[in-house]
Chain A
Amino acid sequence: MSKWSLISKGFFKENPTFVLVLGMCPTLATTTSAINGLEMGLATLFVLVLSNIVISLIAPVVPDKVHIPVYIVVIATFVTVLQFVMQAYTPDAYQTLGLFIPLIVVNCIVLGRAEAFASKNGVWDSALDGIGIGLGFTLSLTAIGIVREILGSGSVFGWKFLAGDGILAFVMAPGAFLVLGYMMVLFNKLAKK
């Protein structure tokens, strides 16, 4: 597989949100606006790339029986690092994303890539795979965030183009399920062609 396809597969062919359907909880919960979706995506990207690198390095020496707990500890460590970094440099984002930052530990995308890719491939390829899947996740979350923000509050990335409020339901819980459902339909339609 060429280096470029390692990165680009996350955008469409193996898109973690629309094709693999992994990591639904942060996808639904944090996409109330485009900027929140973007921040959540980047936070996951950070953990994904670092855990992929470390796991690809330690995989040959980890006994098979305990590999899952070991991978979870590696991932939890990087999540804790991320919590410190975000508290220090982006305290506002840390507040808005709240519970979903520590919950990156149980995001199936991260453990899934560790298991399916990083444990079987070299460091360099694993890092690129992490970047690719992470960017794909970031793009999908931002796209969902943009749609929900336009419908729900009449703005994009905080830039307001509609006077008054939008359709409040799209910022609240039902909108998350509806927008994700209809965007998946759209994705299926496009993928068929």
Chain B
Amino acid sequence: MMEILIICVSAIFVNNILLAQFLGVCPFLGVSNKLSTATGMSGAVCFVITLATLVTYLINAYLLVPLHLEFLQTIAFILVIASLVQMVEIVLKKVSPSLYQALGIFLPLITTNCAVLGVAITVVTKEFTFGGAAHMLGLGEALVYAVATSLGYGLAMILFAGLREHLAGNEVPAAFKGLPIALITVGIMAMAFLGFSGIV
């Protein structure tokens, strides 16, 4: 139980995927103009990261490792993620049109969101030290890590979208307009998140 808590706090606040690991920055800057789109994108990312981590973890453990094909990880994972996103899109359209309405337009963008591939690769290659000795994550821990990471993504995204909506109403010098001022704001946010680094 304690370990799960540590994974969550560490993935959401301390090693926030956007503000500390720089994964998924392109869509972050792209869709954080409005709070509503930011919420939609966060939901879609959360869904896909969890599903993709589950599938790629199993493929790695039961297909690539027994056959000694670990070097194919990059190719295999990106193909799995791309087809998974397509499948999610088709299933969602059929099963839950209302959810598709909310998340649908973001799904194609997610294939090239490096957060998805990043988390999938991280959980199968990196050793973690959550509450004890360094070890590779088991399936359960990997899933907790994936969910917590995507919650961290959503948190940063929604906070930033809130800031950015206020920013839009302000006069900024011409050269700062658009992305530069957004990046500087994210920098200050990242500095605030550094404050969490002592917790775990």
Let me know if B36 is at the binding interface, CB within 8 A: no
**Are A29 and B22 neighbours in the complex by a CB distance under 8 Å?**
yes
The B-contacting residues of A in range 50-108, CB under 8 angstroms, are: 69, 72-73, 76-77, 79-80, 83-84, 99, 102-103, 105-108
Contacts of A123 in B (CB 8 A): none
**Are B175 and A180 neighbours in the complex by a CB distance under 8 Å?**
no
Let me know if B72 is at the binding interface, CB within 8 A: yes
Taken residue by residue from 23 to 40, chain A's Cβ proximity to chain B (1 for < 8 Å, 0 otherwise) reads as 111001100000000000
Let me know if A22 is at the binding interface, CB within 8 A: yes
**Are A182 and B73 neighbours in the complex by a CB distance under 8 Å?**
no
Which A residues are closer than 8 A to B by beta carbons?
21-25, 28-29, 69, 72-73, 76-77, 79-80, 83-84, 99, 102-103, 105-108, 111, 169, 172-178, 180-182, 184-185, 188-189, 192
The A-contacting residues of B in range 41-97, CB under 8 angstroms, are: 71-75, 78-79, 82
Docked CA distance A182–B179 (Å): 10
Let me know if B181 is at the binding interface, CB within 8 A: yes
**Are B74 and A80 neighbours in the complex by a CB distance under 8 Å?**
yes
**Are B74 and A105 neighbours in the complex by a CB distance under 8 Å?**
yes
**Are B175 and A174 neighbours in the complex by a CB distance under 8 Å?**
no
**Are A25 and B180 neighbours in the complex by a CB distance under 8 Å?**
no
Nearest B residue (CB) for A190? B175
Contacts of A180 in B (CB 8 A): 183
Let me know if B139 is at the binding interface, CB within 8 A: no
List 4 tightest A-B contacts by C-beta distance, closest first. A177-B187, A181-B183, A178-B187, A29-B22
Contacts A69-B79, A83-B74, A173-B190 given; does A184 touch B118 at CB 8 Å: no
**Are B25 and A25 neighbours in the complex by a CB distance under 8 Å?**
yes
Nearest B residue (CB) for A101? B74
**Are A184 and B180 neighbours in the complex by a CB distance under 8 Å?**
yes
**Are B112 and A106 neighbours in the complex by a CB distance under 8 Å?**
yes
**Are A177 and B114 neighbours in the complex by a CB distance under 8 Å?**
no
Let me know if B128 is at the binding interface, CB within 8 A: no
B78 contact from A72, A99, A188, A189, Cβ within 8 A: A72
Contacts of A22 in B (CB 8 A): 26
Contacts A28-B22, A108-B26, A172-B194 given; does A178 touch B184 at CB 8 Å: yes
**Max chain B C-beta neighbours (<10 A), residue from A23, A106, A180, A192:** A106
Contacts of B112 in A (CB 8 A): 106, 108, 111
**Are B72 and A80 neighbours in the complex by a CB distance under 8 Å?**
yes
A173 contact from B22, B73, B114, B179, Cβ within 8 A: B22
Contacts A25-B26, A173-B22, A181-B183 given; does A103 touch B194 at CB 8 Å: no
Nearest A residue (CB) for B121? A102
Let me know if B103 is at the binding interface, CB within 8 A: no
Closest chain-A Cβ to B44's Cβ sits at a distance in Å of: 16
Nearest A residue (CB) for B81? A106
**Are B184 and A106 neighbours in the complex by a CB distance under 8 Å?**
no
Docked CA distance A188–B172 (Å): 14
Contacts A25-B23, A25-B25 given; does A185 touch B117 at CB 8 Å: no
Contacts of B129 in A (CB 8 A): none
